[in-house]
Structure formats: structure tokens, C-alpha cells
């Protein structure tokens, strides 16, 4: 597979040949397929695949040729150049030497433009372009993809930026086509005839219904519009780059502000309320003394402990205060009974 330097070596001559072919096709001022094939045969464009490449290198080169040719099939090129780009794709697909044939990648974002181009061709009755599109789809020569280029995991690839050829760009020239030299001459003749009729009919020829210098004013407006169009196209790309850089800086600043705000929120949100045993360590601000901040410590106090089991038992059995309520258990005996029992034991011992 050719590396990046090899691709750059193939890319510049390939683009030059494409622009030469499409430039000649543009000079024909036609969108017929027979005009394109005549130029194709005259230039011997099928020999673009002849060389010492083989195997994977040939497949990679065929992929590169189709990818670069597909750029001329999309806006901002004019309709004639887009038709030429379609014919170029058709010719390259059928003359490539890769087996099986490398397919034409059409990304999802470009499919809407292709459908619009197909509908315009049908409405304009350019059946050559309609036939080529339907034939490529019928031959399964199109590979519908999500991205224009193949993506590889963790592999850095140099992006291929297509430089738009200004000669092929679709410029809105309706004003120039409308206000042509012949039309201005016709307007001048009509205005002169109108002035002569007005002078012959009206005695007061000073009445001016139309402007005397109408053709000159129209010509001046057309020139001013064309100059403005050139300036706008020259500075459009630079303005777009400046706007993109400013937008990127704004997004970066906004992301940084949001990140700092989230860090602060997490930091202050982790502060827990002090436990009761440590609240005496907190300080309080006493502002009641002469309006100044007087810091004093909170009064210390000890946490009251729960009474022990022995204390609770004495309290339940003996009661509170000096007076004790003596309660006898069922298995306990009074002191008198104990004394009588001891005396009885002594008598029995004397008898033995």
C-alpha cells in the first residue's frame, strides 16, 4: 500500500489531468456524453492506470482516482463540470485494473446533492447524465457509506483537502447574462426611437419620462455588481476562517468556564455539616458589640451520657430519694424467717 509521500506524488499529476480534461469539456459548452468521450479518447485517459503498480498498490491507486474524481461531481462546481465529473467517474470505474473493481464511495451527507442533481437532469432532459447515474447504480458500482473516507481505529491519517478550481466554480451570472452587450444596444435603440417620437408629437420636448442615460446606468450597475462579486469570493474564505477561529475560541472559553463551575460545585457540595460533638469548636461572629466583628467561642458543654444498667435497675427497684421501697421477690425470705430457720438447725444439731 503506498504511503503518504507516494499519494502526494500521485495526487498532483492526477488533479492536473482531471482539470485539463474537464477544462476541454467546458469549452465545448455541451453536456453530451459523446463530446466527453471524444476528449477522453484524444487524451488517451485510459492509460492513467498503466504503470508498475500491482496488487494492493493498484487497488489503493484506483481508490485514490475515484475519490478525487468524485469531488468534481459535487457543488460548488457548475452543472456542466458536475456532468463532466459524472462521466469521469463512469470512465474511471470501467477502465480501472483492480480486480474486483473498486467502488465509488458516496457518503450520506452527499446523497441529497446527488438526488437534486438527478432531478435537475431529468427536468432539463439531459438524458445522458440520467442514463449514466442509473447505469452505475444498476451495476452496483456505488458503495453507500457513512463517511467520505475510510476510518481506522487509532491510526492517524493526513486529511485530503480538495482545492476548488475557481474556473469551474458555479458563479451566479444571471445578471451578466441578462444585461448583455446586445441587450444594452437594443435598449439604446429603443430609447432613441422613443425620444424621436416624443419630439415629433409633443411641442414641449423638455418633458422627460425616461432617463436619458439608461443604457450607461445599466452597464455601470452590472460592472459594480461583478466587482463586488469578485471581492466577496476572494475574501469569503478568509472571513470564514476568521469566523471559525473566533467560534472555536468562544467554545473553548465556554467549556473552560463550565469546567471551573462544575469543580467549584463539587468542592463546596462535599462540605458536610459538623457533628454535634464538634460544634463547640466552631466560632461565631458577635456583631452586637459596637457594630464591630467580635469573635467568641461557643459555650462548651458535655454530652449527657445515658444511665447505666445498674443505675436504671436501682431506680426501678428502690425508687428515687432517701426513702427506698423494698420489694421482695417470690424466692426471697424475710430476715425473721431466716433467723428462725437458723435456730431450728441448731436444735437438730444438739439432738445428734
User: pLDDT tens for residues 139-173?
Assistant: 999 999 998 888 777 666 666 677 788 778 766 65
Residues in Cβ contact with 148 at an 8 Å cutoff, skipping those fewer than 6 apart: 67, 105, 107, 109, 110
Residue 247 sits at φ, ψ, to 5 deg, of -65, -40
Q: Which helix (H) or strand (E) holds 292?
A: none
DSSP 11-63: HHHHHHHHHHHHHHHHHTT---HHHHHHHHHHHTGGGGG-SS--THHHHHHHH
Residue with the larger pLDDT of the pair 252 and 218: 218
> What's the CA gap between 160 and 172, in Å, rounded?
28
Cα–chain center distance at 81: 29
SS3 335: helix
What is the DSSP track for 184-234?
HHHHHHHHHHHHHHHHHH-S-TT--SS-TTHHHHHHHHHHHHHHHHHHHHH
- Under 8 Å between Cβ of 207 and 198: yes
Asked which of 90-104, 203-217, 237-251 is least confident by mean pLDDT, the reply is 237-251
Q: Quick one: what percent of the chain has pLDDT higher than 90?
A: 33
Look up residue 237 and give its three cell numbers: 474564505
Q: Is the dihedral of CA 271, 276, 278, 284 positive or negative?
A: positive
User: Which residues, listed in sequence order, are joined to residue 105 by a DSSP beta bridge?
Assistant: 143
3 state DSSP class of 127? helix
Q: What is the pLDDT of residues 312-348, one digit of tens each?
A: 888 877 665 544 445 545 455 556 666 766 776 666 5
Cα-Cα end-to-end distance for the chain: 126
pLDDT score of 292: 47
Region of poorest pLDDT, from 96-100, 106-110, 299-303: 299-303
Strands 294-297 and 104-107: unpaired
Which residues, 6+ apart, have CB-to-CB distance to 153 below 8 Å? none
CA distance 60 to 37: 25
Phi-psi group of 32: left, alpha or beta (phi > 0 → left; psi -120 to 50 → alpha; rest → beta): beta
The secondary structure of residue 157, as a DSSP letter, is -
State how far the Cα of 7 lies from the Cα of 251, in Å rounded to an integer.
35
Is it the case that residue 239 has pLDDT exceeding 60?
no
Pairing label, strands 294-297, 283-286: antiparallel
Q: What are phi and psi of 121, to 5 degrees?
A: -65, -40
Take residue 225 and report the three cell numbers written for it: 455588481
- What is the structure's pLDDT at 335? 60
Q: What is the pTM for the complete model shown?
A: 0.52
Q: What is the mean pLDDT of the chain?
A: 76
pLDDT at 51: 81
Amino acid at each position: 500500500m503506498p504511503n503518504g509521500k507516494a499519494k502526494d506524488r500521485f495526487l498532483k499529476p492526477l488533479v492536473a489531468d482531471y482539470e485539463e480534461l474537464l477544462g476541454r469539456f467546458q469549452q465545448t459548452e455541451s453536456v453530451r456524453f459523446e463530446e466527453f468521450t471524444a476528449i477522453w479518447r484524444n487524451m488517451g485517459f485510459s492509460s492513467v492506470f498503466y504503470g508498475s503498480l500491482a496488487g494492493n498498490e493498484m487497488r489503493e491507486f484506483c481508490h485514490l482516482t475515484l475519490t478525487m474524481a468524485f469531488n468534481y461531481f459535487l457543488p460548488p462546481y457548475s452543472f456542466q463540470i458536475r456532468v463532466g465529473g459524472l462521466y469521469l467517474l463512469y470512465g474511471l470505474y470501467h477502465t480501472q485494473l483492480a480486480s474486483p473493481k473498486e467502488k465509488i464511495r458516496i457518503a450520506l451527507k452527499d446523497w441529497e446533492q446527488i438526488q437534486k442533481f438527478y432531478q435537475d437532469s431529468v427536468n432539463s432532459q439531459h438524458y445522458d447524465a440520467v442514463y449514466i447515474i442509473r447505469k452505475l447504480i444498476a451495476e452496483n458500482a456505488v458503495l453507500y457509506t457513512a463517511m467520505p473516507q475510510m476510518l481506522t481505529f487509532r491510526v492517524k491519517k493526513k486529511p485530503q483537502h480538495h482545492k476548488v478550481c475557481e474556473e469551474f466554480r458555479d458563479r451566479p451570472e444571471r445578471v451578466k447574462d441578462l444585461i448583455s452587450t446586445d441587450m444594452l444596444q437594443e435598449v439604446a435603440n429603443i430609447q432613441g426611437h422613443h425620444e424621436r417620437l416624443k419630439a415629433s408629437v409633443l411641442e414641449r420636448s423638455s418633458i422627460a419620462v425616461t432617463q436619458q442615460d439608461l443604457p450607461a446606468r445599466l452597464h455601470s450597475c452590472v460592472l459594480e455588481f461583478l466587482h463586488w462579486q469578485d471581492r466577496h469570493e476572494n475574501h469569503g474564505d478568509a472571513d470564514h476562517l476568521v469566523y471559525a477561529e473566533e467560534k472555536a475560541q468562544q467554545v473553548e472559553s465556554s467549556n473552560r468556564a463550565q469546567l471551573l463551575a462544575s469543580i467549584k460545585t463539587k468542592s463546596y457540595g462535599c462540605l458536610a455539616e459538623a457533628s454535634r460533638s464538634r460544634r463547640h469548636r466552631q466560632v461565631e461572629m458577635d456583631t452586637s458589640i459596637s457594630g464591630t466583628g467580635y469573635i467568641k467561642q461557643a459555650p462548651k458543654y458535655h454530652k449527657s451520657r445515658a444511665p447505666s444498667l445498674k443505675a436504671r435497675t436501682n431506680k426501678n427497684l428502690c425508687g428515687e430519694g432517701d426513702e427506698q421501697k423494698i420489694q421482695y421477690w417470690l424466692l426471697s425470705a424475710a430476715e425473721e424467717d431466716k433467723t428462725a430457720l437458723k435456730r431450728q438447725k441448731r436444735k437438730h444439731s444438739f439432738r445428734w
